């Protein structure tokens, strides 16, 4: 009996991404996976999973074997849905290379860092009215607003439209508790952006949408051309889809983790120079996207077992981030941690294009929160974990501001 099959025995480790009792705290299960079944097979949902840092780092880079062309979300891979051209997060080279290069040219770290002051003002507008309040909610009051607001800033979308965008994207990713995602509800085409795009085409500015409409690139046939209207809409949808819920979760986790570690929170409040390290440690400790999935294009041997062509495999980033071989005392939150970086933004050709933006948002949000609320206690009863299977985090994160 091979190890992957053996793991199905009665006292063998069991993990699935839909069980709320496991999802509440998956880390003891991840530890067991790393120790007992580093290549794990889940029979109920028919997928493999890798949980050790070194395995994930090695195999995520093997893009010929582990394809993104059927999506990086398990449910989508299993359904073999049609993916429109231009959804570069779910494409392999050469198309991925062409499209990512175009987006990377216009979606620059400089453009993101230039937003810092606007992000700060946005946080102040959200938080100032709460000063003096007994309770705040890290999600409702900031996490749910800021990422959509920032994507709106990037694209040049007026404030009033921004919440609509976020709600649509979140609704598409939501799962019913204990069940896989309903892929029929997914949206890709950037609905809701069309009117704005047409208006922007006639009213150019210095925003990302205008830049995308004007950029010239060499496509996969070698033709130099501009992006089509459909391609721009899909790009915008990829960016909004990838950057909204994830960053909202980061803000929720910031509230939760620093609520649970008041000593460290006080140190950060006393020395804001610790904020960047705190955000990195929060990202390691509770990654908003706990896993990425891939489709296996050919038989591959991992840890002495064959993973057959046609399988789906999950790379458990959240487990890798706690792997003791990489992160000594990995289950402890420590803002003074030194050592190698986490894998929360993925690795290789698909690694997060918005990581600089997510970091700016996380840093500025924490700074502005601490300036107004240096102390808080999480209202554990009122906090509600989300039922999404592609991101992990809080739908509500209320706290008492002492």
Residues at the interface with ligand HEM (CB under 6 A): 68, 72, 88-89, 100, 151, 238-239, 242-243, 246-247, 250, 287-289, 292, 344-346, 350-354, 357-358
Of the pair 169, 302, the CB lying nearest ligand HEM is at 169
Taking the C-alpha atoms of residue 223 and residue 216, their distance in angstroms, rounded to an integer, is: 10
Taking the C-alpha atoms of residue 397 and residue 230, their distance in angstroms, rounded to an integer, is: 37
Q: Which two tokens stand for residue 157?
A: 């979308």
| SS3 of residue 49 by DSSP | strand
> CB of residue 36 vs ligand HEM: minimum separation in angstroms?
25
> CB of residue 12 vs ligand HEM: minimum separation in angstroms?
28
Instruction: Please list the residues that pair with 180 across neighbouring strands.
Output: none
Of the pair 38, 290, the CB lying nearest ligand HEM is at 290
Q: Which two tokens stand for residue 246?
A: 């994830």
Cα 257 to chain centroid, rounded: 17
Best CA proximity match to 233, nearest among 178, 203, 195, 205: 195
> CB of residue 316 vs ligand HEM: minimum separation in angstroms?
12
Of the pair 40, 315, the CB lying nearest ligand HEM is at 315
For residue 199, report the phi and psi dihedrals to the nearest 5 degrees.
-65, -45
Of the pair 156, 243, the CB lying nearest ligand HEM is at 243
> CB of residue 364 vs ligand HEM: minimum separation in angstroms?
13
Of the pair 69, 352, the CB lying nearest ligand HEM is at 352
> CB of residue 99 vs ligand HEM: minimum separation in angstroms?
8
Residue with tokens 């609320």: 373
> CB of residue 31 vs ligand HEM: minimum separation in angstroms?
21
> CB of residue 344 vs ligand HEM: minimum separation in angstroms?
5
User: Quick check: bond before 94 cis, omega within 30?
Assistant: yes
> CB of residue 142 vs ligand HEM: minimum separation in angstroms?
14
> CB of residue 5 vs ligand HEM: minimum separation in angstroms?
27
Best CA proximity match to 23, nearest among 177, 252, 138, 249: 177
How many CB atoms neighbour CB 377 within 10 A? Answer: 13
Taking the C-alpha atoms of residue 307 and residue 58, their distance in angstroms, rounded to an integer, is: 15
Of the pair 104, 270, the CB lying nearest ligand HEM is at 104
Q: Which two tokens stand for residue 32?
A: 């067991």
| SS3 of residue 50 by DSSP | strand
Of the pair 14, 288, the CB lying nearest ligand HEM is at 288
Alpha-carbon radius of gyration of the chain: 21
Of the pair 7, 170, the CB lying nearest ligand HEM is at 170
**Torsion on CA atoms 293, 295, 301, 304, rounded to nearest 10:** 40
Taking the C-alpha atoms of residue 313 and residue 290, their distance in angstroms, rounded to an integer, is: 14
H-run or E-run covering 95: helix 95-106
Cβ distance 245 to 268 under 8 Å?
A: no
How many CB atoms neighbour CB 187 within 10 A? Answer: 13
Of the pair 74, 358, the CB lying nearest ligand HEM is at 358
Of the pair 345, 376, the CB lying nearest ligand HEM is at 345
> CB of residue 337 vs ligand HEM: minimum separation in angstroms?
18
Residue in the shown chain whose Cβ atom is closest to ligand HEM: 354
Taking the C-alpha atoms of residue 334 and residue 331, their distance in angstroms, rounded to an integer, is: 9
């Amino acid at each position: 009996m091979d190890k992957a099959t053996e793991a199905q025995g009665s006292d063998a480790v069991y993990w699935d991404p839909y069980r709320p009792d496991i999802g509440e705290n998956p880390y003891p299960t991840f530890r067991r996976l790393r120790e007992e079944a580093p290549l794990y097979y889940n029979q109920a949902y028919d997928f493999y999973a890798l949980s050790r840092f070194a395995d994930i780092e090695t195999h995520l880079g093997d893009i010929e074997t582990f394809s993104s062309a059927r999506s990086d979300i398990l449910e989508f891979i299993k359904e073999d849905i049609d993916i429109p051209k231009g959804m570069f997060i779910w494409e392999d080279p050469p198309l991925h290379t062409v499209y990512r290069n175009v987006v990377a040219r216009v979606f620059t770290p400089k453009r993101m860092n230039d937003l810092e002051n606007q992000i700060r003002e946005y946080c102040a507008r959200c938080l100032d009215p709460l000063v003096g309040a007994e309770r705040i909610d890290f999600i409702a009051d900031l996490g749910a607003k800021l990422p959509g607001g920032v994507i709106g800033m990037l694209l040049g979308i007026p404030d009033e439209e921004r919440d609509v965008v976020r709600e649509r994207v979140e609704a598409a990713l939501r799962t019913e508790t204990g069940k896989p995602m309903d892929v029929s509800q997914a949206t890709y085409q950037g609905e809701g952006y069309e009117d704005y795009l047409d208006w922007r085409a006639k009213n150019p500015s210095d925003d990302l949408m205008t830049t995308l409409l004007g950029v010239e690139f060499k496509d996969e046939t070698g033709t130099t051309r501009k992006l089509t209207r459909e391609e721009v809409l899909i790009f915008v949808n990829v960016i909004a889809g990838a950057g909204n819920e994830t960053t909202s979760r980061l803000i929720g986790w910031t509230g939760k983790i620093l609520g649970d570690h008041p000593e460290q929170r006080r140190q950060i409040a006393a020395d804001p120079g610790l904020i960047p390290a705190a955000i990195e440690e929060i990202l390691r400790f509770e990654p908003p996207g706990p896993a990425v999935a891939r489709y296996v294009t050919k038989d591959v041997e991992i840890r002495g077992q064959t993973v057959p062509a046609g399988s789906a495999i999950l790379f458990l980033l959240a487990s890798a981030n706690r792997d003791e071989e990489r992160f000594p005392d990995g289950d402890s939150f420590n803002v003074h941690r030194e050592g190698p970086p986490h894998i929360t933004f993925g690795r290789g050709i698909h690694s997060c294009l918005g990581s600089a933006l997510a970091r700016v948002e996380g840093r500025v949000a924490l700074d502005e929160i601490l300036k107004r609320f240096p102390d808080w206690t999480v209202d554990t009863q009122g906090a509600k974990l989300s039922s999404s299977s592609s991101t992990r985090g809080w739908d509500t994160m209320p706290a008492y501001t002492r």
